[in-house]
Each structure stands twice: as C-alpha cells, then as structure tokens.
Amino acid sequence: MNLLRARRELARVHRGVALTRRKREALVIELFAAARPAMAFRSEMTDAITRASVSLADALAIHGAHGLHVMAMPMHEPQVELRSAVVWGIAVDDVIDRSPVVRSTDARGLAPAITGPSVADTAERFERLVELLIDAAPREQRMRRLGEALAQANRRLRTLEQRVAPSLTASISAVRRQLEEREREEQLRLRHVLRKS
C-alpha cells in the first residue's frame, strides 16, 4: 500500500470516527428526549390496563364468558392519519389525527337494562385503552428505531476505532519500515561504491 494513500485513508477514518461520535451523542440526546414522555405514557397505559382488566373481571363474574361473548360487538376500525418524519436519517411516524374510538352506549348497540353497567364500563375502558395504544405506537416506534440507530452507530465506531484505524496504522508502520530499510540499503551500497573507488 502506498504510504500517502494510507495516510489519507487514516485521516479519513479519524474524521469518520469524529462524525460518528457526534451522531451517537445526538442520537443519545434524541433517545432520552423520547424516553421521558414514553415512560410516563407507559405508566398511564399500565394503569389503564389494570383498570380495564379489573372491569373485565367484574363483567365476567356477572355475565360469564359466554354472556360477554354474545354481548361483544366488533369495534369499528379506527381511522388514523400519520405524518412521516426523519430524525437523524431515521424514518419515524407521528399521529396527526385519529377517529375517536370511545363510543356511546347507543353506538355500541347494547341495551343498558340487559347488559348492566359492568359491560358498558368494561367496553369504555378497553376503548380508552385502544386510544392510548394508538397514541403510544409512534412513540414506541421512534424509541425502537433510535435505539437501533444508536446500536448501529456504536458498532460502526467500534469497527473504525478497533479494526480499521489499527490496521491502517500497522500498514503505515510497515511501509515506513520498508522505506527506511531501502534507504539504509542504499546508503550501504553508496558506501561500498565509494570505498571501491
């Protein structure tokens, strides 16, 4: 390998390491900024899941599994409008608008006198949970993709620092040694020629 080419390549690797470090730091900042609201949102979802599960258990105790299955009505498909965005080269989506999932008792098509308040309460709690999950999906996706990009940046940085840069440094050292040896040989030849003359 040519010494000058190896030096240019090593300089390029050092610039790449610096750039990758800056990208990694920016991704960490973005990840922490996304993680704080997501943690609060997860806590809210956990509470909603707990309330919905307790409500479902009450409804099951009153009506039984078969009775609830008969009363269950397929939920309408929610309409969700997403906007694509790019964060540090990572494609993410944000929920711009969504149709309401929580329905009134009339919209559910259940007679309150037959079903009782436990079924209506259970249905409302699970519909609210669906709304929370729709709102949480883009946040979770953003965190997952930022985490993957951060892991990829770390792998690149380790590869550049621990494999590519040492390999180039070793190549530069080998070329230098070879050039120094050639120079010594040339000096010895010149001395030998000068002695003979």
Q: How far apart are CA 146 and CA 138, in angstroms?
A: 12
State the angle between helix axes of 3-71 and 117-159 in degrees (0 to 180), rounded to the nearest 10. Answer: 170
Sign of CA dihedral 18, 20, 26, 28: negative
Compute the average pLDDT of residues 151-156: 94
pLDDT greater than 90 at residue 38: no
- Model confidence at 79, pLDDT cuts 50, 70, 90, reads confident
* The predicted structure's pLDDT at residue 160: 92
DSSP 89: T
Question: Which has the higher per-residue pLDDT, 102 or 16?
Answer: 16
Compute the average pLDDT of residues 143-149: 91
Q: How far apart are CA 74 and CA 107, in angstroms?
A: 12
* The predicted structure's pLDDT at residue 157: 94
pLDDT digits 0-9 by tens, 94-120 = 888 888 877 776 676 666 667 778 787
What are phi and psi for residue 83, nearest 5 degrees? Answer: -120, 125
pLDDT greater than 70 at residue 15: yes
Compute the average pLDDT of residues 157-186: 92
Where in the sequence is the domain holding 116, given as residue range(s)? 3-196
Cβ neighbors of 6 (< 8 A, separation 6 or more) are: 168, 171, 172, 175
* Whole-prediction pTM: 0.72
* The predicted structure's pLDDT at residue 101: 79
Compute the average pLDDT of residues 25-34: 90
Q: State how beta strands 90-98 and 80-87 pair.
A: antiparallel
Q: How many domains does the chain have?
A: 1
Residue 92 vs residues 13, 34, 36, 145, 192: alpha-carbon distances, Å: 30, 12, 17, 8, 73
Mean pLDDT rounded to a whole number for the chain: 86
Cβ neighbors of 23 (< 8 A, separation 6 or more) are: 88, 153
Q: Long-range contacts made by residues 51-55, C-beta under 8 angstroms, separation at least 24?
A: 51/125, 52/122, 52/125, 52/126, 52/128, 52/129, 55/118, 55/121, 55/122, 55/125
* The predicted structure's pLDDT at residue 70: 65
Three-class SS of 93-121: EEEEEECCCCCCHHHHCCCHHHHCHHHHH
Compute the average pLDDT of residues 70-86: 78
* The predicted structure's pLDDT at residue 93: 85
Kindly report the CATH number assigned to the domain that includes residue 54.
1.10.287.3240
* The predicted structure's pLDDT at residue 111: 67
- Model confidence at 126, pLDDT cuts 50, 70, 90, reads confident
* The predicted structure's pLDDT at residue 74: 62
